[in-house]
Structure 1
Amino acid sequence: MNTERPETEARDEQEAARSGRRRPRAVILSVAAAVLLVGGGGAYVAASDAPSGRTTPAAADSSAPPPLAVDDLSDPYGAHYTASGALPKGPGSAPVYGAGAGVREEQVVRLARALGVSGTPVAEGYGWRIGGKDGSGPSLQVNRDAPGSWTFSRYAPGTDDCGKGPLCAPGPVGPTGAPVSVAAAEKAAAPVLRAAGLDGARTDASQVMGKQRVVTADPVVSGLPTTGWATGLTISRQGEVVGGHGLLSTPVKGASYPVLDAERTLALMNAAPKGDHRMGPGGCPGPARFATRLEGPCQSASPASGATVAVDKAVFGLAAHPVAGRPTLVPSWLFGTRGSGTVSYPAIDPRYLASSSASPTAAPEHPVKITGYMAAGRNLTVGFYGGLCADYTATARESADRVTVTVTEHRQEGRICPLIAKEFTRTVRLKAPVDGRTVAGADGARIPQAKPGALRPSSSS
Structure 2
Amino acid sequence: MSSERPEHDTARPRRRRSPAAVTSVAAAVLLAGGGGAYWAATAAGHDNGGAETSGAPGGTTDPPPLALDQSARSGGAPGIAPGEPDPRGPVYRADGTFPDPPKSAPVYRADGTVSAADVTRLAHALGVPGTPRLVGTDWKVGAAKDGTGPLLQVARQAPGTWTFTRFGSGGSDNCPQGKGCSSGGSASAGGGKAVSERAAKAAAAPLLKALGESDAKVDAGRVMGSVRVVNADPKIGGLPTYGWTTGLQIGADGRLTGGSGPLKAPVKGAGYPLIGAADALKRLNAPTAGATGSGGCATMEPLTERSASGAGTDAERTATTGTAGAPPSPSCAPSSKAPGSRAVTVSHAELGLAMRLAGGRQVLVPSWLFETRPAGTAGPGTVTAPAVPDRYLATPEPPADGNRPGGSDQTPTAYRAEGRTLTLRIMGQVCGRYGIRTTENRNTVRVALSAPARKPGKVCPDIIASVTQKVALEQPLGNRQVVNASTGDPVPRM
TM-score class, shorter-chain normalisation, is: 0.5 to 0.7
Question: Number of residue pairs matched?
Answer: 338
Q: Secondary structure at the match of 2:248?
A: strand
Give 1:305 deviation, angstroms.
7.0
Q: Is the 8 A contact 2:438 2:448 kept in 1?
A: no
Corresponding residue number in structure 2 for 1:221: 236
Fraction of identical pairs, as percent: 40
Q: Is 1:205 matched with 2:220?
A: yes
The CA distance in 1 between the partners of 2:356 and 2:409, in whole Å, is 17
The CA distance in 1 between the partners of 2:69 and 2:413, in whole Å, is 25
Corresponding residue number in structure 2 for 1:427: 472
The one-letter code sitting in structure 1 at the alignment partner of 2:448 is H
Corresponding residue number in structure 1 for 2:69: 71
The one-letter code sitting in structure 2 at the alignment partner of 1:119 is G
Moved more, 183-192 or 334-343: 183-192
Q: Is 1:309 matched with 2:348?
A: no
- TM normalised by structure 1 equals 0.62
- Deviations along 1:196-246, one digit per CA (max 9) or x if unpaired, are 232322212222222111111111012110001000000001111111110
Q: Which has the larger radius of gyration?
A: 1
Q: Is 1:146 matched with 2:158?
A: yes
Corresponding residue number in structure 2 for 1:160: 187
Moved more, 349-358 or 362-371: 362-371
The one-letter code sitting in structure 2 at the alignment partner of 1:152 is F
- Deviations along 1:256-276, one digit per CA (max 9) or x if unpaired, are 111110110111122163467
| Change over 3 Å in CA distance of 1:367–1:205 after alignment to 2 | closer
Corresponding residue number in structure 1 for 2:102: 91
Q: CA RMSD in A?
A: 4.2
The one-letter code sitting in structure 2 at the alignment partner of 1:105 is A
User: Residues 284-323 of structure 1 correspond to what in structure 2 (within 5 A)?
Assistant: 296=302, 306-323=341-358
Corresponding residue number in structure 2 for 1:361: 407
The CA distance in 2 between the partners of 1:258 and 1:412, in whole Å, is 36
| Change over 3 Å in CA distance of 1:351–1:306 after alignment to 2 | same
The CA distance in 2 between the partners of 1:426 and 1:58, in whole Å, is 48
Corresponding residue number in structure 2 for 1:352: 392
Structure 1: segments with no counterpart, 5+ residues: 1-50, 169-176, 279-293, 374-380, 398-403, 431-438, 445-461
- Deviations along 1:335-369, one digit per CA (max 9) or x if unpaired, are 11113611101010101222226995269999987
| Change over 3 Å in CA distance of 1:103–1:138 after alignment to 2 | same
The CA distance in 2 between the partners of 1:162 and 1:65, in whole Å, is 49
The CA distance in 2 between the partners of 1:114 and 1:423, in whole Å, is 30
- Deviations along 1:407-448, one digit per CA (max 9) or x if unpaired, are 4333799x9967x8x886533468xxxxxxxx662549xxxx
Structure 2: segments with no counterpart, 5+ residues: 1-47, 74-87, 170-183, 294-299, 304-330, 333-337, 375-379, 399-404, 429-433, 452-461, 482-494
The CA distance in 2 between the partners of 1:73 and 1:250, in whole Å, is 27
Q: Is 1:255 matched with 2:294?
A: no
The structure 2 residue matched to 1:230, chosen from 245, 268, 271, is: 245
| Change over 3 Å in CA distance of 1:231–1:305 after alignment to 2 | farther
Q: Is the 8 A contact 1:321 1:329 kept in 2?
A: yes
Corresponding residue number in structure 1 for 2:16: none
The CA distance in 1 between the partners of 2:395 and 2:104, in whole Å, is 21
Corresponding residue number in structure 1 for 2:488: none
The CA distance in 2 between the partners of 1:372 and 1:179, in whole Å, is 26
The one-letter code sitting in structure 1 at the alignment partner of 2:58 is A
The one-letter code sitting in structure 1 at the alignment partner of 2:343 is T
Corresponding residue number in structure 1 for 2:363: 328
The structure 2 residue matched to 1:410, chosen from 448, 454, 465, is: 448
The CA distance in 1 between the partners of 2:258 and 2:412, in whole Å, is 23
- Deviations along 1:160-218, one digit per CA (max 9) or x if unpaired, are 3446xxxx9xxxxxxxx431122321222122223323232221222222211111111
Q: Is the 8 A contact 1:367 1:407 kept in 2?
A: no
The CA distance in 1 between the partners of 2:413 and 2:95, in whole Å, is 48
The structure 2 residue matched to 1:124, chosen from 135, 141, 146, is: 135
| Change over 3 Å in CA distance of 1:364–1:58 after alignment to 2 | closer
| Change over 3 Å in CA distance of 1:148–1:304 after alignment to 2 | farther
Corresponding residue number in structure 2 for 1:281: none
| Change over 3 Å in CA distance of 1:429–1:360 after alignment to 2 | closer
The CA distance in 1 between the partners of 2:279 and 2:267, in whole Å, is 27
Q: Is the 8 A contact 1:365 1:408 kept in 2?
A: no
Q: Is the 8 A contact 1:94 1:257 kept in 2?
A: yes
The CA distance in 1 between the partners of 2:342 and 2:140, in whole Å, is 46
Corresponding residue number in structure 1 for 2:149: 137
- TM normalised by structure 2 equals 0.58
Q: Is 1:193 matched with 2:228?
A: no
Q: Is the 8 A contact 1:201 1:219 kept in 2?
A: yes
The CA distance in 1 between the partners of 2:223 and 2:412, in whole Å, is 32
| Change over 3 Å in CA distance of 1:215–1:197 after alignment to 2 | same
Corresponding residue number in structure 1 for 2:478: 441
Q: Is the 8 A contact 1:318 1:330 kept in 2?
A: yes
- Deviations along 1:124-183, one digit per CA (max 9) or x if unpaired, are 2222122234433222111111111111122225663446xxxx9xxxxxxxx4311223
